[in-house]
Structure 1
Amino acid sequence: MSNAVPDHHSPLIPPTGASNVSVASEVKFAELCGLLEKIEKTHGNDKKKHVLKGFVDKWREFHAEIHKDDGEEIEDSFYPAMRLLLPALEKERVAYGIKEHTFAKLLIEVLCLGKDSPDANQLLHFKAPKNARADVVDFASNAYHVLKRRCPQRGSLTIEEVNSDLDAIAANNVSKAGKDIVRKRLLRLVTSLSAIEQKWLIRMVMKELKMGLSQTSVLSVYHPDAEELYNVNNNLEKVCRLLRDPKTRGHEIGITVFSPFTPMLGERASPDKIEKLMDNKPYFIETKYDGERVLLHKKGDKYKYFSRSGNEYTQSFGSNIFEGTLTQYIGNCFKPHVEECILDGEMLGFHVDTKTFGTKGEQFDIKSKDVLDRTGYQPCVQVFDILLLNGRVLTNTALKDRLPILEDAFTPIDGRIIRSVYKRASSNQDCADALNEAIDNKEEGIMVKLTDSVYKPNTRKGGWFKIKPEYIGGLMDELDVLIVGGYFGVGHRGGLVSHFLCAVAVSDNDDSDEEKKPTLFYSFCKVGSGYSKKQLQDFNTQLAEHWKVFDKKKPPSHLELASGFKEKPDLWLPPDKSCVLQIKAAEIIESDRFKTGCTLRFPRVEMIRNDKPWYQCMTTRELQDLREKSGGKLAGSRFELGEGDEPAKKKRRAAPRAVRPTLMNQFQAADVSNITQVSRVLQGKEFCIMNGPLTLSKQELEKRVVELGGLIVQNPDTTTLCVIAEKVNVRVNNLIKKNKYDIVRAEWLVRVLDAAAWIKWSPSDMIHITQTTQQVFDKDFDEYGDSYTLNTSEDKLRTVFEAMSNIPEIHQDQIAEIEEEYFPDESPYGLFRTCRIYMDSNIVIGDPKSPIPNCPLDLLQQEIRFFGAHLSPTLDPDVSHVLVHTRDISRVGTMKELRRSRRQKFHIVTEDWLSSWLYWKIAKSKASRRELTKVVFLMSSNRYSANVTADDCVQVNMEEVH
């Protein structure tokens, strides 16, 4: 391997007369990989940094030499190398779209390896214990052993060329059309780089170098102020360019409008330690909402929004006061003196009907442009800090002085932009009381901030602390779940099963036998934290002989995964050989990756329940009860301080029901205790309402049902008439899979309530139909939902036509055959079905030389379409008739010449011929008086009257114009 390692100390000799070149275009990629190889093998952080510093210094020397005659405003910098040293920080080019398995398949294809060859198996299944090697810590080192026999000893590409290929891969990995470009660029990299170079290239693509130097260390080697500047602007290229000269010193953090930066963060803490953390100084407490961090930049009428990681979402929220899901509603809230500002806050989802804030557990994307229409939530920014006002940077101003400035910056608008409410506090008990209030209100937690804290971007060491129930032992509900699958680890966990797929038992309808062992389990969550490496090794030893390889073609009968195997384990475990894990998490959230339709947010293992048999794990019914009890939140207890401000043993007792709601507002059942019944329309009918339309909440629907004599339940049963839903969420999907209940659109119930009368279901009212109801529908409706007996309406007919949209188009000749078979003499409406007619309506409208002001053929073309004709916009070879007006036959000669040249001839006829045929056919047919009247009305522009007879018709000239 030593032969493949390039010497990174080889001299960097500038080419003569190359003032326009960049350093990256002259330095081989092998130089950089040799540097990384040496850093990886060097022990000690300081020694590693020393090796890196030697490379950076040589780069600067080379840069100074080749640009000695250039001006100061040059773009060339250390950035091409830095983006490869810190690939995870390169925001604009990290979406390579290639992970280990994809990279393995591409290498197999590019190297032309047999799919069942040992090398292909090594690439695809490197995590498997049988393929584990002591010197393989990740996929890249695994690929090195496969590539070293197939690659050149030293690569020929420069750093610039490698970056160019990576950029091309990132730009083309999304589209199918770009896959060929991706393969072509990968082929060039594979054939032009050595195995060692490819090992580091793969790690760059995977965004994890594993060289033993942190981001802070790498940036500090380049420049002492590099990390501070990067925290401000999140722009690695700008950092390398502005700090190109090591003598240049960073000044006060240059926060500027429309330049993203990483905001200040908070440390974890517990209420019993706040006084000590605050050094017995007063502090502020504010509610911590469950939203997405956002930095709002304003300058004049222009706005920009940046996330915590520097991603811009201006396109969604709006760049000016005339667009976006938020800006157009808050543009007028700023005070007149605010020309430019930067606000720090949280982007929340505000439900317009329930007037409540949503949580991440509800899995709506507040950045989506149609989030309001789909979910009922609208963006609302909760502002808790101001960092810049009219060019003045406020980061070094104390928080207690920034808050009055913030209060004077804008006027809050309910549901659109609000200010965080700060409460002054000074003791541990104040903090404990605030946390308990947040638990009672089902909030995420609280933030505690030192009153004289200054704002330090991208740091947690600035006097801000976040306190959540899950950070404190004994406050969270714990779940006992069964291990059913496992995933192989990588790196220091290589060769071990490091993550576990956990499941809950499917509840049996018969609960009389408590010792009855479950036979079916639903996948529920994946957990991979909470235990030490020693515990993990012991646990692997305990389960080693029971693991079985998972084959999605023959999955175990006791385990059901989500459709499409969205979370498929590498191994599976028989239930009776498994054990129960006690897991703690922040909340239960909806997810389609697991069979339960939900999973845990931030799960971690608390302990292995060796005292509990496998069949006593949590059941689907217990999981559902827990979700309904708490709305998904798992904070089950209140925090209590002991004497002397030491934390007492946390008691797992529920808060009084009168104080603490059991569900978030939008999921609570309506209080119908005081509802007066006004009708018996729904007497004896039981409904389960899941959700309602935007105009009517679940609670309002329930109250109106009770007013009409109906019954309301929160879980459907055998006595439930139907389930009502407006949108299909995970819970509704689970009911659909059970196929036990009719699920009816909320729109139908609204019609019943508005009419105060019973309305039968129709197929268009249904989200899901049981077999029994389908049999009833089959008697009254056709396959497209059209009733055999009821009068239709425009809306119903439109729905039926939409259901028929997938029917193959019937050709005109087929329709003509059907008409001839079933209506040979009765109907004139297919008279011209087989005709393809070209209308010669070229009479100039408004021309004084023209004997008529408008061409009657313009109206006539609509009439003949009514009788089945197909109109051609051009005189194409398939035209069977050309229709001219008797007042303008100037083009007939040209048409005849064209006709003689064609194999398929066409007829040239006038409007008289057309009218004669129609009236003759109508008079001859058995059409009703109503039909005749309709046809005569349609042809009112012609010279014939409604009294024309069949004898009159045959007297009309029906010959062609020759």
Structure 2
Amino acid sequence: MAEDDTEMRDEDAVEEEHMMYGHGTMTEEELNEKYPNRPHNHSKTLPFHDLFLTLFNPLNENKKKPTGPVTARKKQGPHGPHTSPNEIRRAIIERFISRWRKEVGNDIYPAFRLIVPEKDRDRGMYGLKEMILGKLLIRVMKINKNSEDGYNLLHWKLPGVKSTSAMAGDFAGRCFEVISKRPMRTTPGDMTIAEVNELLDRLSVAQKEENQRPIIEEFYKRMNAEELMWLIRMILRQMKVGATEKTIFDIWHPDAENLFNISSSLRRVCWELYDPDVRLEGDDRGICLMQCFQPQLAAFQMRSMEQMVAKMNQTEDDPTFWIEEKLDGERMQLHMVEDDEVPGGMRFGFWSRKAKDYTYLYGNGFLDENAALTRHIKDAFNDGVRNVILDGEMITWDPREDTMVPFGTLKTAALSEQKNPFSTGNRPLYRVFDCLYLNDVNLTRYTLRKRREALVASITSIHRRMEIHEYHEARQASEIEPLLRQVVAEASEGLVLKNPRSEYRLNERNDDWIKVKPEYMTEFGEALDCVVIGGYYGSGNRGGKLSSFLCGLRVDDIHVSQGANPQKCWSFFKVGGGFAAGDYAEVRHRTEGKWFDWDVKNPPKEWIELGGQDRQYERPDVWIKPEDSIVISVKAASVAPTDQFRTGLTLRFPRFKKLRVDKDWKSALSVNEFHALKSRAEDEKKDKQFKVDDARRKRSGRKRKREVIIQGQEDDVKTPYAGPATKVFEGLNFLIVTEALKPVKKSKADLEQLVKANGGNVVASEKDPSTIIIADRNLVKVASLQKRDERNIVRPPWLIDCVKQSELDIGRPSLLLPFEPHHLFYTRTSEAGKYDHNIDEYGDSYARDVTADELLALFNRMPAKITHDYDSAEVLEQLNEHGHELDAMPGCMFHGLTVYCEGGVTAEARRLLEFADGRIAKSLTDSELTHVVVPKDSPKLRDVRKAVSSNKEQPRIVTEAWVVDSWQEKTLLDEEREHSSP
């Protein structure tokens, strides 16, 4: 197809391609050699403005379509009746791609570089952020930086001067406002996508302002305001077009996402997969040497340690799982391959999780004199290792204290090590936890245990330079907590649980790797009362308004020099979560007219000290004198060291609780008072357990009656055996050969009691042909029965499903469920396929009610009609790791809360709790219970308080108004305000 395209190409297309690819990092000849079958367009690329007129704008309009709180409302629209937004999104992208193939050709790489610029690793960074771009535009448009428009560009987060401030918080939108007043063009320009790419390539290598300015001027002359707005979003790599790269990749080619995962190369996705009918096969689907891939990621912890361990797929023969310390560094993959042209004979490559090449920093060979790492690790690779790919974490190590340094100093340490390789200062240390490729063999399909064997056989640890990361082998959930306590005491991040029987899955989060982070109990009482000393303007819906605040600690007399301002404060933390609209209004009312713009050249040092001294870390947009300010009460998860705030410490995940109108700056928390509070809390915390500890230890004492499970799969209710619960097994004989392994483990004795409790008989022999044989493992007895091929062997879940369905059908005759294919461990040859008709094509049962988990599994097995446009786990991780609160997002507002709803609570409140990521408890004795919701003026309040009085952790008792008001305000409100139950 590529050859045919070449024959049909016009001269403009050939010239355009030479323009785009003739001045990059590779010459056109090198490109032809590396990609001999790459496609060539037969015509010129589309006009640049077609990108937003036919793709971006329609996608954004579709994104604005209203959806309900649970499911998307389907509307009559131009794409047909009852078309969902997801289907419309796909149709828009498909239409653009189809047009490109028809009018331009099969090389869509020029367009994709602009559609998903954040995935383009071939073009370097521009070195341009909002402030620098604003200054460049001011010079290009020849406007005064102190004019209204100049001020608006340089202070894009602030409300515009004499402006509606609709674009506050949106830099590209603010640029559109300013450029629209003085455009060089009022209609879209004539630049093609190829021409824009060629200029952006030049911009990425220009770096210095004097070289960048002529390029920006060229764009300004040839584009109208809307074109420039989208161009700026491409430069900032902040597109937000209403569709993710996953959706776009999937529509381009079914293997596109997989190829990007193993290569991190947008160029390869476009040039190797231009024909949807040609699929990746064999080695093309796996990782390769010197080719960056998207690594496997760890999932978030679940409700309890037992549940996490249950996800490790333990078996009776191999019940182990591994526990590793979670390192606070930068995920890094190391590639090493033999190369005679490199001094030392080995060539290295280093890439981060985001595919950034760090080879220049850590070294390209053993003899690289500018290497921060490779010149120290020649003895790390055992004899016979010709090539290898390692996965690990690059951390900062302090050799003087022999301890890990918190994240944020890695690059500084590496640069220092480059200059002075034998200093005693901080240095990079590479901790290796996986081996994915060894001597031309891709190991990703091997189990973690096998990969570990390969790692140990090929690598020898070099002390405090490159070390194999240790792990602890465990069998029980109770083994996790002591290790968690230990790593937290050493100021580590937490733990990672790993399944040693698992394969390596690129760019995926699953239950094979699970992160465990400690959630502290309240350390400092209910809240800290701190004075507000600064404010930050928001973006999006909060653009042009103060949306978060800088809080400080009063400087005590011993810290204040003679004659200094007694109101002086040190910056301590920023808080933006938990404020309702009414709270913002109250803050505005009490502080209106009292704010001052922060002057970088003349900061108010007599009032406020920031972190970083002259660097002014976390400087606010505006500041306020403590005597004119307010005191707010906040609660937080814990305290962490930092250099970003003057106190040297800050709060992790602070949340606004209430406005302390009864306090002024003099009664707010001081530096000394906080340190005393912290010291006392640390002493008290030593003997307390973490909130995450959910281990249910067996109690010794009086002998109990034997327990039997008489309910279904998820929430097993245990009760002493007291005769039949249902009559579903009445008159039937059962031979129980093995225990149950899935979906939950149950012993053989438990299964026998389950049969008896529901009217059945347990026998010791299968001689009676009517006896139902139950087994879940291939023991000698089971293998013998299979060999005879005379009887079906049924899995234990069929017993549980029968009991569960009978309990749901109370009042009706108890009927056995027909067998479904997954119910049978072995089906005799004469009945092969007999039970397939008991389920539909996706595995949905015709005879029983499926659980929520089963329904989700069914949906996952169905062919993808709608593509999800985001990885929810990745979004949560980014929020968590960057210090944002999950409850700041309406869809995750009740994340981490376990709530019991008393009778009388409305269905609306229950739906909101579940929709916004809360878990509904089934009883007041739930060990994870955090809240109890009661109707207003509930007569059962006294009974509720009595019922929860013995709980280890006392839940908050609130009215359902707290749920509804939090949803309306789009933030988790404090429980003790008007929402608490009297």
TM-score tier by shorter-chain length is: 0.5 to 0.7
Deviation at 1:308, TM superposition (A): 1.8
Whose radius of gyration is greater, 1 or 2? 1
1:498-537 equivalent positions in 2, closer than 5 A: 498-509=547-558, 519-528=567-576, 530-531=577-578, 537=584
The yes-or-no answer on 1:302 pairing with 2:334 is no
Tell me the alpha carbon deviations over residues 651-701 of structure 1, each in whole angstroms, 9 at most, x when there is no partner. Answer: xxxxxxxxxxxxxxxxxxxxxxxxxxxxxxxxxxxxxxxxxxxxxxxxxxx
Equivalent residue, structure 2, for 1:322: 367
Alignment of 1:404 onto 2:424: no
The question of whether the paired residues in 1 share the 8 Å contact of 2:169 and 2:544 is answered with no
Secondary structure of the corresponding residue to residue 345 of structure 1: strand
- Answer yes or no: is 1:264 the counterpart of 2:296: yes
CA distance in 2, matches of 1:635, 1:244: 60
Q: Does 1:346 align with 2:393?
A: yes
Q: Answer yes or no: is 1:189 the counterpart of 2:219.
A: yes
In structure 1, C-alpha distance between the alignment counterparts of 2:360 and 2:636, rounded to whole Å:
38
- Residue 95 of structure 2 corresponds to 54
* Counterpart position of 2:750: none
- Whether 1:582 aligns to 2:634 is yes
Does residue 104 in structure 1 map to residue 134 in structure 2? yes
2: CA distance, partners of 1:490 / 1:556: 28
Structure 2 counterpart of 1:336: 383
Q: TM-score, normalised by structure 1?
A: 0.58
CA offset digits 1:504-529 (Å, max 9, x no partner)? 21121299xxxx9951112234444x
2: CA distance, partners of 1:295 / 1:628: 40
Q: Give the distance between the partners of 2:495 and 2:659, measured in 1 at CA.
A: 32
Match of residue 465, structure 1, among 480, 503, 514? 514
1:490 is aligned to 539
CA shift at 1:254, angstroms? 2.3
Pair 1:614–1:361, CA change in 2 (3 A): farther
**CA displacement at 1:612 relative to structure 2:** 6.5
Is the 8 Å Cα contact of residues 301 and 308 (structure 2) preserved in structure 1? no
Q: In the TM superposition, what is the alpha-carbon distance from 1:129 to its structure 2 partner?
A: 3.6
Which segments of 5 or more consecutive residues in structure 1 lack a partner in the other structure?
A: 1-12, 65-75, 649-962
From 142, 145, 166, the counterpart of 2:200: 166
Q: 1:364 to 1:643 in 2, by over 3 A?
A: closer
SS in 1 for 2:592: helix
Distance 1:543 1:373 in 2: 57
* 1:493 Cα offset (Å): 2.4
Q: Give the match's secondary structure for 1:120.
A: helix
Task: Describe the superposition over 1:486-507 as per-residue Cα deviations: whole angstroms up to 9, x where unpaired.
Answer: 1111123213212322222112
Q: 2:437 — aligned with what?
A: 388
Q: Which residue of 1 aligns with 2:187?
A: 153
Per-residue CA shift, 1:400-426, capped at 9, x if unaligned?
Answer: 222222221222232222222222224
> Is it true that 1:144 corresponds to 2:167 in the alignment?
no
Is 1:14–1:62's contact at 8 Å kept on the other side of the alignment? no
Secondary structure, aligned partner of 1:645: coil
TM-score, normalised by the number of residues in structure 2: 0.56
The 1:354–1:537 alpha-carbon spacing in structure 2 relative to 1, beyond 3 Å, is closer
Q: Mean alpha-carbon deviation: is it higher for 204-213 or for 137-146?
A: 137-146
Q: Does 1:278 align with 2:310?
A: yes
Deviation digits for residues 511-562 of structure 1 (CA, Å, limit 9, x no counterpart):
9xxxx9951112234444x447758756755656265132424738422343
Worse-superposed segment, 141-150 or 238-247 = 141-150
Change (3 A) 1:27 1:320: same
8 A contact 1:263–1:458 mirrored in 2 = yes
Q: Does the aligned pair in 2 maintain the 1:395–1:455 contact within 8 Å? A: yes
Shift of the 109–353 alpha-carbon distance from structure 1 to 2, 3 Å rule, reads closer
Pairing partner for 2:233 from 203, 215, 237:
203
Taking the aligned partners of 1:99 and 1:560, their CA distance within structure 2 comes to 26
Structure 1 contact 364–371 (Cα < 8 Å) conserved:
no
Of residues 484, 504, 508, the one that matches 1:455 is 504
Q: Which residue of 2 aligns with 1:359?
A: 406
* Residues 171-223 of structure 1, C-alpha deviations (whole Å, 9 max, x = no match): 223x3xxx233111111111111222112111112211222112322222222
Amino acid aligned to 1:522: W
User: Aligned residues, how many?
Assistant: 611
Following superposition, the deviation at residue 162 of structure 1 comes to 1.3
Distance 1:53 1:321 in 2: 49
Does structure 2 conserve the Cα–Cα contact (< 8 Å) formed by 1:351 and 1:377? yes
Pair 463,475 (structure 1): closer, same or farther in 2 beyond 3 Å: farther
1:595 Cα offset (Å) = 4.0
* Equivalent residue number for residue 29 of structure 1: 48
Q: Which whole-Å CA distance do the structure 1 matches of 2:681 and 2:464 have between them? A: 24
1:439 matched to 2:469? The reply is no
1:485 offset after TM fit, Å?
A: 0.8
Which amino acid in structure 2 is aligned with residue 255 of structure 1?
I
Over residues 349-403 of structure 1, what are the superposed CA-to-partner deviations in whole Å (9 max), with x where a residue is unaligned?
3443443333326677342214656652333321111111112111122212222
State yes or no: 1:312 paired with 2:312: no
Contact 1:481 1:583 in 2 (8 A): no
User: CA 1:602–1:57 in structure 2 vs 1: closer, same or farther (change >3 Å)?
Assistant: farther
Structure 2: distance between partners of 1:647 and 1:167 = 66
Give the letter aligned to residue 245 of structure 1: D
2:467 paired with 1:418: yes
C-alpha distance in 2, partners of 1:226/1:612? 59
The one-letter code matched in structure 2 to 1:170 is: S
- Letter of the 1:579 counterpart: V
Q: 1:413 to 1:612 in 2, by over 3 A?
A: farther
Q: 1:388 to 1:602 in 2, by over 3 A?
A: farther
Q: Is the 8 A contact 2:397 2:427 kept in 1?
A: yes
Is 1:605 equivalent to 2:655 in the alignment? yes
User: Residues 137 and 546 of structure 1: is their aligned pair in 2 closer, same or farther, counting only changes over 3 Å?
Assistant: closer
What is the aligned partner in structure 2 of residue 726 from structure 1?
Answer: none
Residues 17/113 of structure 1: CA separation in 2 closer, same or farther (3 Å cut): closer
Is residue 215 of structure 1 aligned with residue 262 of structure 2?
A: no
Write the distance in 1 (CA, Å) between the matches of 2:190 and 2:131: 27
- Tell me the distance in 2 between the aligned counterparts of 1:193 and 1:285: 56
Amino acid at match of 1:265: L
The separation in 1 between residues aligned to 2:87 and 2:625, in whole angstroms, is 50
The answer (yes or no) to whether the contact 2:635–2:655 under 8 Å persists in 1 is: yes
How far apart in 2 are the matches of 1:455 and 1:440? 31
Q: CA deviation at 1:259?
A: 0.9
The 3 A distance-change label for structure 1 pair 97 and 420 is closer
SS at match of 2:297: coil
Larger RCO: 1 or 2 (CA < 8 Å, sep 6+) = 2
Conserved? CA contact 1:230–1:261, under 8 Å: yes
Question: Cα RMSD between the aligned structures?
Answer: 3.7
Give the 5 Å matches for 1:879-918: none
The answer as to whether partners of 1:480 and 1:583 remain within 8 angstroms in 2 is no
Q: Distance in 2 between matches of 1:94 and 1:260?
A: 16
CA deviation after TM superposition for structure 1 residue 276, in Å: 4.7
Q: 1:152–1:192: 8 Å Cα contact kept in structure 2?
A: no
Which ranges of structure 2 fall in alignment gaps of 5 or more residues? 1-7, 18-40, 66-84, 315-319, 339-345, 700-982
- The Cα of 1:646 is off from its aligned counterpart by 10
Partners in 1 of 2:385 and 2:407 — Cα distance? 32
**Are positions 1:287 and 2:325 aligned together?**
yes
CA separation of 1:277 and 1:574: change in aligned 2, threshold 3 A: farther
Letter in 2 for 1:275: Q
Q: Residue 21 of structure 1: CA displacement?
A: 4.3
Deviations along 1:617-676, one digit per CA (max 9) or x if unpaired, are 443345667999999xx999642677773999xxxxxxxxxxxxxxxxxxxxxxxxxxxx
